[in-house]
A = this chain, B = another copy of it.
Amino acid sequence: MYHSQRILNSSSPATEGGEGIVLDLWYQERHNDEISLGLHVKKVLATKQSPFQRVDVMETSGFGRILTLDGLMMVTERDEFVYHEMIAHVPCLVHKKPERVLVIGGGDGGTLREVLRHDSVKEAVLCEIDPEVVSLSRQYLPFTAVGLNHPRAKVNIADGVEFVKNSADHSFDIVIVDSTDPIGPGVGLFSGAFYKEVRRILKPDGIVMAQCESPWENGIDLAKVYGNLREVGQVWAFSGSIPTYPFGFWSWAFASATAHPYEVIDMERARAIEKSTRYYNTEIHRGSFALPNFLKQRLKGVVSNA
C-alpha cells in the first residue's frame, strides 16, 4: 500500500530524517483498481503484524496521525471526529436514557470517547478482537485513546460474535457495530445471524448502529448489508462526509424495533453535546437521513427512508 519515490526537488513537506535528499513518501490506498487516495507521510511510526491483520500508524503532514488496518484507512487525526460523533450521538440523543452501551470493534477508542460524553451512560463496554489495535492506539493516538482510558469504559479483548453470544438477554440500551470492512476479521459482524443475536442482548427499546460503507461503493451489495440489520427491527440509512474514507462519503445504519431515528431528539441534551462537537448538530442529525436518489434506488424496500 506504500509508494515511495526518491526525488531531489520535492514541493512536498520534507519527510523526517532526510539530509539533503528528501523522501517523498505517500500512503496510497487503492479503494479498488479505479480510484485511490494519497496522503503525504512524514514518518511511519509503527508497523505490526497481529494474528488478525497488519496494523500501521503513520504521521502525515496534513491529517495528523493515521491508523490503517491491512493498508486500509481507519482513523485520521484530522477527520475522525465525523465518524465517531455520528455513530455515537445519533443513537444516544434519540434513546431516552442510554445507560449501558456496547461498542463492537472501535479499538482506537474514538467511539467510546463520544459515547461517554453522555452522563447517563453508566458503562460503555468495548469488545475489540485485536489487542494490537488497542495497544498502538494507546501509544500513538491519544486523541481517540482517551475513550479507552475513561473510568466508565470497560475494554474487552474478544471476538465480537462470541462476546454477543455470551452476553445476557436485554443487557444493552445501544449496540454500536464499529467494524472494519466486510472482508477480513470484520466479516462476521455483517451477517444476519449476528444481528439476530444482537437483538437478543438489546433491551426492547434499544438501538443498533452500524457503519455500512460508502454509498458510492459498487463492489459491495449495500442492500444486503443494510438488509441484515432488519433482524433488529426497522432500519434507516444516514450519511456523512469523511474525506479519507473511500469516495469521501460514508453511511451508517440505525436499527430499532421501537425508536424512530430523528422524529424525537432530546434537544436539551443535544444542546450540551453540540458545544463539544465539530461535525454533529441536530440539523445535521436530521439532514443526514436525506438520501440521494441513487442511494434510495439501491436501498429501496430495505430501509425506511429510501
Interface residues in chain A, defined as those with a beta carbon under 8 Å from any beta carbon in chain B? 11-13, 26, 28, 30, 32-40, 60-63, 79, 82, 215-216, 239, 241-243, 247-249, 274, 277-281, 283-284, 286-294, 296
Bound complex: CA of A39 vs CA of B249, how far in Å?
17
- On whether the beta carbons of B283 and A291 are closer than 8 Å, the reply is yes
Q: Given that A26-B36, A241-B239, A287-B288 are known contacts, is A278 also in contact with B249, CB under 8 Å in the complex?
A: no
- Chain B residue numbers with a CB within 8 Å of A284 are 290-293
Q: How far is the CB of A188 from chain B (nearest CB, A)?
A: 27
- Chain B residue numbers with a CB within 8 Å of A247 are 241, 243, 248
- Chain B residue numbers with a CB within 8 Å of A35 are 37-40, 62-63, 243
Copies of this chain? 2
Q: How far is the CB of A131 from chain B (nearest CB, A)?
A: 31
- On whether the beta carbons of B60 and A33 are closer than 8 Å, the reply is no
- On whether the beta carbons of B34 and A63 are closer than 8 Å, the reply is yes
Bound complex: CA of A296 vs CA of B61, how far in Å?
25
A-B contact pairs, 24 of them (CB 8 A): A13-B33, A13-B34, A33-B61, A34-B39, A35-B38, A36-B39, A37-B37, A37-B38, A215-B241, A241-B247, A242-B248, A243-B247, A247-B248, A249-B249, A278-B293, A279-B292, A280-B293, A281-B290, A283-B290, A283-B291, A284-B291, A284-B292, A284-B293, A287-B287
